Amino acid sequence: MPKISEEQREARRLEILHVAERCFARQGFHRTTMEHIIRELKSSPGAVYCYFRGKNEIVAAIAEQRHKRESALLAELLASGNVVEGLEHLARSFFGMLRDPKERERRKLTIQIWAESLRDKRVRKIVERGIRQRDLLTTALRNAQLAGQLPKELDPDAFSRVLLALVQGFILQQAWEPELDTESYLLTTMHLVNSALGDHRA
């Protein structure tokens, strides 16, 4: 059997992840089995299991893709010299992704994983890797406070939790209301952030 290149292996791996996302979005995470994914791929079990040993590994790989993309956005915030501009760029990039119907479908899987993590410790570990991204945001806010860009009385850790809640809340609401006005939500979010910063805005 001829050896396949790394590019072909990666393309096949991504195909499995895309098909799994479709299955999860259609049938739900809990009800989707490896057999469903294999059938949708029109593939043999061995051709899938050589990449992933089970459903949780697939979910972990999907989550890892998202974590990498979001970590890259957070890294830009960390590198920014102005916290307001950095937060606005982060928000516009993130909510810009959520205008894509395919991304909205993927985020429905995110909600299912959140729910599953309450009962499955293995899934909880996957979710916790994403939660730890908030530490990067807290670090950026704390550094901005030291630079005089945040009020002294504002708790950077609590502020990062509020910002995360605004994002998570939108993801949940958008799953219920796909036509939710993304731009209005973004503008309102930035207004709240600017109000919290008060006279410390650049």
Domains of the chain and any CATH numbers: 1-53 (1.10.10.60), 62-200 (1.10.357.10)
Given this model, what pLDDT does residue 202 score? 47
Q: Quote the distance between the C-alpha of residue 34 and its chain's center.
A: 23
pLDDT averaged per 10 residues, the chain (length 202): 74 90 84 91 87 87 80 74 82 86 82 83 79 84 88 92 92 90 92 78 48
Considering Cα of 125, then 58, then 161, then 74, what sign does the dihedral take?
A: positive
**Integer Cα distance of 73 and 90 in angstroms:** 6
**pTM metric for this prediction:** 0.79
Given this model, what pLDDT does residue 2 score? 55
CB neighbours of residue 157 within 10 Å: 12
Given this model, what pLDDT does residue 172 score? 92
Burial class (CB in 10 A: 0-12, 13-18, 19+), 199: exposed
